[in-house]
């Protein structure tokens, strides 16, 4: 008899509900009790300085890293070692977009997109091909289907990675630093792509990044990870006007840098000693 997941509790309001997640590596505490709620069909961006554990947190959500404590619920069901059926259902309904794209150089664009369907489903080969070609068409990559990743530009590789992520028709897509290493124009294009296709396909998205202006433009909600905890959760407008010191320090860092450089150029003492 095939195991089935019981219907989620009626009170399950969020697609993802994270409570008190902890993660340590040796003596280093990376996550010290992280909470996050993710409503269905929205784009949620987790901001934070480099090295604050954003990618570790995303890997905990994806099941790549196992938390030391806390609970992660997907669609009302706890994702833990005792609930193998719920974890399998989560993997079926979730995709992960790696920071490095994680494309296979030896495979063509079409073969890269087909891989998750071939490995995780029983879909017939003819249907796999049609679904992959449709994903490539939607991302304006169909004519490059026989090219290898190394023959594509950085922005095209990002689109190819997204095509592979959405071909399984996931309900949740996790984006790990999707603009890492890109110049400003390509960075804007990636955020535009995420916004466009999230609206088109209706998936829920969780991004981790440190690109503040772009995140504010594309997101429905913002969270700030600071010192192992979520220091802020709210709308972009609430983030923009928050007086929380951690939020202000992160959000206003560009303005603070301009003030510091202006003071140095005038031969004055910088307004803060924390700029180094």
Per-residue pLDDT in tens (0 to 9) along the chain, 276 residues: 334 334 334 335 689 999 999 999 999 999 999 999 999 999 999 999 888 899 999 999 999 999 999 999 999 999 987 888 998 889 889 998 887 888 999 999 999 999 989 988 888 999 999 999 988 988 889 999 999 999 998 888 888 988 898 888 899 999 998 887 777 887 888 888 888 889 888 999 999 998 888 889 999 999 999 999 999 999 999 999 999 998 988 888 655 555 555 666 667 665 554 444
The number of distinct structural domains making up the chain is 2
Q: Same domain for 135 and 215?
A: yes
14 DSSP 8-state letter = -
Q: In the structure encoding, which two tokens stand for residue 237, read together?
A: 């407008």
C-beta atoms surrounding 146 within 10 Å: 10
Q: Same domain for 204 and 257?
A: no
Q: Please report whether residue 200 resides in a domain.
A: yes
CATH number of the structural domain spanning residue 37: 3.40.50.300
Q: Please report whether residue 5 resides in a domain.
A: no
Q: Same domain for 150 and 165?
A: yes
Q: In the structure encoding, which two tokens stand for residue 175, read together?
A: 């984006």
Q: Same domain for 217 and 267?
A: no
Is pTM beyond 0.85 here? no
Determine the 3-state secondary structure of 17 from DSSP.
Answer: strand
Give me the residues paired with residue 25 across strands.
Answer: 28
- Cβ neighbours for 208, distance < 8 A, ≥ 6 positions apart: 45, 46, 47, 48, 54, 55, 57, 58, 175, 176, 177
């Amino acid at each position: 008899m095939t195991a089935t997941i019981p219907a989620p509790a009626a009170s399950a309001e969020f697609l993802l509900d994270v409570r008190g997640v902890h993660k340590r590596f040796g003596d280093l505490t990376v996550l010290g009790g992280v909470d996050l709620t993710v409503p269905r069909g929205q784009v949620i961006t987790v901001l934070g300085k480099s090295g604050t554990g954003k990618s570790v947190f995303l890997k905990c959500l994806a099941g790549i890293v196992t938390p030391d404590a806390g609970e992660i619920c997907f669609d009302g069901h706890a994702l833990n070692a005792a609930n193998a059926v719920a974890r399998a259902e989560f993997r079926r309904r979730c995709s992960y977009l790696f920071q490095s794209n994680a494309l296979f150089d030896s495979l063509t664009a079409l073969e890269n997109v087909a891989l998750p369907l071939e490995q995780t489903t029983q879909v017939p080969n003819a249907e796999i091909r049609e679904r992959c070609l449709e994903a490539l068409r939607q991302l304006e990559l169909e004519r490059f289907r026989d090219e290898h990743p190394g023959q594509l530009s950085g922005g095209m590789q990002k689109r190819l990675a997204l095509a592979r992520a959405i071909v399984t028709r996931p309900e949740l897509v996790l984006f790990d630093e999707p603009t890492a290493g890109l110049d400003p124009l390509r960075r804007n294009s990636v955020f535009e792509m995420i916004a466009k296709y999230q609206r088109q396909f209706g998936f829920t998205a969780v991004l981790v990044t440190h690109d503040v202006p772009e995140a504010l433009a594309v997101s429905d909600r913002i969270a700030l990870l600071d010192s192992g905890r979520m220091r802020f959760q709210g709308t972009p407008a609430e983030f923009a006007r928050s007086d929380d010191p951690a939020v202000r320090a992160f959000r206003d860092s560009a303005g603070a840098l301009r003030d510091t450089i202006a003071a140095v150029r005038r031969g004055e003492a910088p307004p803060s000693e924390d700029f180094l």
